[in-house]
A and B are shown apart, each in its own frame.
Chain A
Amino acid sequence: MSDRRYPDAVADEFPVPPTEFTDREERTVEIRPYEGTDEEYESLVEMYDAFDPADRAQGIPPGGEKRIREWLDAILADDCLNVIAWCGDDVAGHATLVPDGDAYELAIFVHQEYQRAGIGTHLIRGLLGHGQSESIRKVWLTVERWNRAAVSLYKKIGFETSDAESFELEMGLRLNPDADEEGDADEEGDADESEGDGGTA
């Protein structure tokens, strides 16, 4: 599983959280890195407990509070990077990077009440900005190929398909240059906007 492919070019620079914006429903949303407090943890549990099962992807988030807590314990560990989209005291969405060898696996979830409002785009960009500032080099993800909103969001961000041979598409992104090369990132201007902002990916 370590022969994943990544784009040669390093991705754009992403905004480093905390950031704040107004979503398409005129709600004020704040993107903040997870700091490990009980309040944040319990708010995440609440969001996932109310998460629409139809928006699950490849078995996550799991169903039931006990399994949700077990899963969160794994992906909120110290060696993972997590970013939360807050609407007041409620979690609107959550994105995470979990270490996998020399790369990180990415997933993003937006609660059904907050979908299609542009939050997913801000959330993933915030996570990747957090990752860039923490010197993460490579990120990969899998996405069900029929989840077109998610696939187009990832493409817009700069992810490139690395494996299209199975049920799930595998995509990769280079966040920082490899240790042995000096950064020569060539990239194009960033296209923001759209509706690529489904429930999960």
Chain B
Amino acid sequence: MKIRLENVVKEFQTFRAVHGVSLDIESGELVALLGPSGSGKTTILRMVAGLEYADGGAIYFGEENATDIPVRERGVGFVFQHYALFPHMTVGENIAFGMKVSKVKRTPREIAARVTELLDLVQLGGLKDRFPGQISGGQRQRVALARALAVDPRVLLLDEPFGALDANVRRDLRRWLRKIHDELGITTLFVTHDQEEALDLADRVVILNKGKIVQEGTPEAVCRNPADAFVMNFLGDANRLDADIRGGKAYVDDIAFEADGVADGSGQILFRPADVTWREDGQGISAKIVRVIDRPDSRRVLAMTGSGQAVEFDTAPEFPHRKGEAGFIDIRRPRVYASA
């Protein structure tokens, strides 16, 4: 099922508003809505589900305008952030609930068979008669997914699906969810504030800030070509140096960088800590090492440029230089943006 959002608007007195978002999600695609808290990503997800009404714009499921279809008839599978499992029902009863209340009548035998099938799918075969309070967070998450899938939804929506889990459980579940998605081929939209999660899991990433889409594209596209300083910062650690932009060049301490198409005036150069080479002489911005921090697989260096701006970069563990030494910072893949 293809989903299309057309200029969707949602006003709140507080944050979490959405200001005109348009988005196409292809059938069978796995898309991440990525943004900091309050960026409106969960509101968008809830509007797609019908748990929130849009104040303007339209939402299409395929060719059908779904904007005013009530949540119960919309046919979405929704996995809540804290799973919202019914605590007084067993795992099996939770999964069966949607089928029991459905207008499509199923015999108890059919329901039981489907529950078993779903439990196998989410690899929880033995837990059918446990209560949600008796299983682990990762298991609850999978029950929530099975429950959502039980009603054969047209679209699967997940709100921060891994937010409440430990880091290693999270990684396993991520890969596993991707596998399930590939098996079922269901159109899936999920919300996350964790860029690693979005990049790891999604076919396409939609980055939001303050209720607007700031960039969308494949993980490769957004990583290699961040649209602005916000995206660059949000996707990972970045150094920022103030620069003067004059005639397609950006100057930092008299060192020039390519800045094609960036308007003259003040601007900034952003670059990843891994994209720096320390040189004892020659090219680069002059700097002094302030501190060296050891890490299991690398060495992080804190330095100060001649004009007093802080820079952090990663080097091999064998990096020989020490605090107080002077040298030059050579930047690969710098990105230049005009100041907002």
Partners in one complex: no
User: Which chain A residues have a beta carbon within 8 Å of chain B's beta carbons?
Assistant: none
